[in-house]
Structure 1
């Protein structure tokens, strides 16, 4: 389950052809563009081995350089109106916006109910027609 790719897919559907990064760029970020960064993950146990998992992310928008203030204001309104869910996966919750060092920063949470992966050995080669003979 790669939530960052799901976030990038949703952003790409809203802003086609805009670069979306998940790694720092040695030469800096192209403007305008997005950078997605996971901040923290929490997990709370529930019944029947389920977990309530909260994934917290930071989305940074690097605005156009010719009029960055107006661009960030417009992007914030667009994200408030249209960046509400990850299609067929989860709702985006607790969205907060802040301008930091000339970029628009949005923090948000994706909340899921999950079952931990079962790593126990399975009976993959079991054949019920084979019986053991006593010696």
Structure 2
């Protein structure tokens, strides 16, 4: 499961029944709904081949068109309380809320450490010469 799918699952658990989109919609987004996108990443090398990786994401909330300001205020408080951790993966860091063109946006980072995995098998075959002794 990738990070955007984890974010989508968390949003779905916070607001069941609201659509969570990953791609732009030709006919527009259903309101209310969420749109999740990656906005950048960076890696910093550390000891022993590890990397500290910071991935930036943005969640856009499209509010109820009948009462958008009230709905955005409500959703902002809910996200401040509950949008904190991707379960069994990483903490959500540096959350910044803003209002842009009638939507509520949340920019944030996911930070974790990665260790490169070398490809290929280390031991393809094994020859054994000897006996196994059992102590009676």
TM-score norm. by structure 1 comes to 0.90
1:30 aligned residue: 30
The whole-number CA distance in structure 1 between the counterparts of 2:127 and 2:15 is 55
The whole-number CA distance in structure 2 between the counterparts of 1:109 and 1:117 is 24
Question: Structure 1 residue runs of 4+, over 6 Å off?
Answer: none
Count of paired positions: 129
Q: What is the aligned-residue RMSD (CA, Å)?
A: 1.4
The whole-number CA distance in structure 1 between the counterparts of 2:19 and 2:39 is 21
Matches within 5 A, 1:45-64: 45-64=45-64
1:133 aligned residue: none
1:41 aligned residue: 41
1:3 aligned residue: 3
The whole-number CA distance in structure 1 between the counterparts of 2:103 and 2:59 is 10
The whole-number CA distance in structure 2 between the counterparts of 1:80 and 1:33 is 17
Q: CA deviation at 1:116?
A: 2.0
Q: Secondary structure at the match of 1:30?
A: coil
Q: CA deviation at 1:129?
A: 3.9
Q: Secondary structure at the match of 1:81?
A: helix
Structure 1, gaps ≥5 residues long: 131-135
Q: CA deviation at 1:80?
A: 0.5
Deviations along 1:74-107, one digit per CA (max 9) or x if unpaired, are 1011100110010111100100011111110110
The whole-number CA distance in structure 1 between the counterparts of 2:93 and 2:80 is 11
TM-score norm. by structure 2 comes to 0.90
The whole-number CA distance in structure 2 between the counterparts of 1:71 and 1:100 is 14
Structure 2, gaps ≥5 residues long: 130-136
